[in-house]
């Protein structure tokens, strides 16, 4: 029987988008049955319009070309600059884009589940999300996770 991977994706930043989509697409390539449950800010990863950002603010481990003190990081435009810089670096190093990995997940039958409670909480519309996803709650995730070989909270 196929191995199973269950992931909870709770982050909606550019850097936070990589682990769930990257691991699930690779798991599918290895013959796993994989499901990702998107909750809270993780729901941003299911939006048709993926405008994910990365911020150095509150993230002292983020490598910067020059040291930028926290007080300076609140300047408007710094987050956009950091995002642009990260995207340029990802492309230059031959790393797949988030959209590309998400497409591979869909093509390889990774089930993408939107947490219904947080969809309602944030008043998101189903039309905001890509096609081919499903909806579910805590019991939906736990049922699958109870049989999973690997379970991750990201």
Partner 1 sequence: MSDFDTEIDTSGLNCPLPVLKARKMLNEMTSAQRLRLICTDSGALKDIPAFCKMTGNPLISSDEIDGKLYFIIEKGA
Interface positions with partner 1 (CB under 8 A): 22, 25-26, 29-31, 93-96, 104, 108
Taking the C-alpha atoms of residue 43 and residue 125, their distance in angstroms, rounded to an integer, is: 11
Helix (H, G, I), strand (E, B) or coil at 19: helix
Which of 30, 138 has the CB closer to partner 1? 30
Which of 95, 106 has the CB closer to partner 1? 95
Taking the C-alpha atoms of residue 58 and residue 55, their distance in angstroms, rounded to an integer, is: 8
Taking the C-alpha atoms of residue 44 and residue 12, their distance in angstroms, rounded to an integer, is: 5
* Distance of closest approach, residue 29 Cβ to partner 1, in angstroms: 4
Taking the C-alpha atoms of residue 35 and residue 94, their distance in angstroms, rounded to an integer, is: 26
* Distance of closest approach, residue 16 Cβ to partner 1, in angstroms: 17
* Distance of closest approach, residue 76 Cβ to partner 1, in angstroms: 32
Which of 31, 63 has the CB closer to partner 1? 31
């Amino acid at each position: 029987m196929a191995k199973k991977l269950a992931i909870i994706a709770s982050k909606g930043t550019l850097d936070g988008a990589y682990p769930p989509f990257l691991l699930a697409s690779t798991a599918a390539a290895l013959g796993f049955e994989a499901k990702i449950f998107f909750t809270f800010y993780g729901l941003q990863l299911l939006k048709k319009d993926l405008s994910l950002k990365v911020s150095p603010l509150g993230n002292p481990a983020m490598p910067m070309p020059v040291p930028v003190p926290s007080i300076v990081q609140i300047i408007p435009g710094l987050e956009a600059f950091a995002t642009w810089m990260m995207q340029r670096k990802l492309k230059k190093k031959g790393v797949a884009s988030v959209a590309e990995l998400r497409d591979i997940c869909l093509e390889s039958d990774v089930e993408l589940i939107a947490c219904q409670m947080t969809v309602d909480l944030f008043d998101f519309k189903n039309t905001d999300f890509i096609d081919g996803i499903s909806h579910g709650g805590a019991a939906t995730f736990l049922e699958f996770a109870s049989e999973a070989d690997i379970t991750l909270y990201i």
